[in-house]
Amino acid sequence: MTESTALSHFRCGYIAIVGRPNVGKSTLMNELIGAKVSITSRKAQTTRHRITGIQTIDDAQFVYVDTPGFQTRHSNALNKTLNRTVTNTLTASDVILFVIEAGTFGPADQQVLDLIPKNVPCILVINKSDRVKDKAVLLPFAQQIAAKRDFTAVVPVSAKLRFQLDNLQGEIKKHLPENPPIFGEDDITDRSEKFLAAEIVREKLFRFVGDELPYTSTVLIEKFEVEGDLRRVFAAILVERDTHKSMVIGNKGERLKDISTQARLDMARLFGGPVYLEIWVKVKSGWADNEAGLRAYGYE
């Protein structure tokens, strides 16, 4: 078979992963592509950007787009920007994965479902299905949700345990258009190392500070230098108040040290080389409600 013949049967397209906050969208994308490009946290509303994860298998390239969870609380500029990102992604996708949590479907899930265009193939993904003790309740629950719209498939999965992810990928592939690949076969994301560095620091921030810290905190990479295999990363954590700053730094700087150590180790794994990381904490009140400021910090 010639290369042009092979490419004529190649499938490639964009797959939007949508759902309310904290249903496991980022974990699902990371496990599907086999690399950590989207940050995860038990704290809801961790993903803030449109993040692309790429996987190329044989005759298909899957371009996954992890979206922020659709925000139904607070109407500041940040949340309006996040919701605009979700709706723009939906209209530009070839396939949509609507992710819900097994056994749970509330008004926030319905709000996301109502946003999904009727003319795009949509797969219902029931995540965290391993947590349902009585498996007999899973089928009626799936049938109840499946009746809400004409889904192209219903797939219960556990992203964390990789349960049924191959089946899910098989269902997605059926609906990808015949296109040549958009990215190189070894690419795993279209995001820069600088962007990924900021996301890794933000993940550790939420992991170590948790619910104490308002989710409006963010991370800005002030300098990113590459010298051979070594990356030098200078990051600023932006918080809204002095009390938040002391939360992040912790007793005798221990918390900030933990954030830095874990972020540096994750970066070294992802970038495949040593990382020198310095982090400062800065107070910048009102940044999350300033449209111009949001664009300066990389929000679309």
- Annotated binding residues for GTP: 19-26, 66-70, 127-130
What are the E-state strand segments in 74-196? 95-101, 122-127, 153-156
Residue 155 per-residue DSSP state: E
CB 94 within 8 A of CB 15: yes
CB 126 within 8 A of CB 156: yes
Quick one: CA torsion of 13, 197, 69, 179, rounded to 10 degrees? Answer: 0
CB 224 within 8 A of CB 231: yes
Helix (H) or strand (E) holding 173: helix 165-174
Other residues' Cβ atoms within 10 Å of the Cβ of residue 296: 11
The amino acid that residue 209 corresponds to is V
Give the separation between CA 206 and CA 214, rounded to whole angstroms: 9
CB 67 within 8 A of CB 17: yes
Q: What angle do CA 11, 17, 22 make, to 5 degrees?
A: 155
CB 260 within 8 A of CB 237: no
| Binding site listing | 19-26, 66-70, 127-130
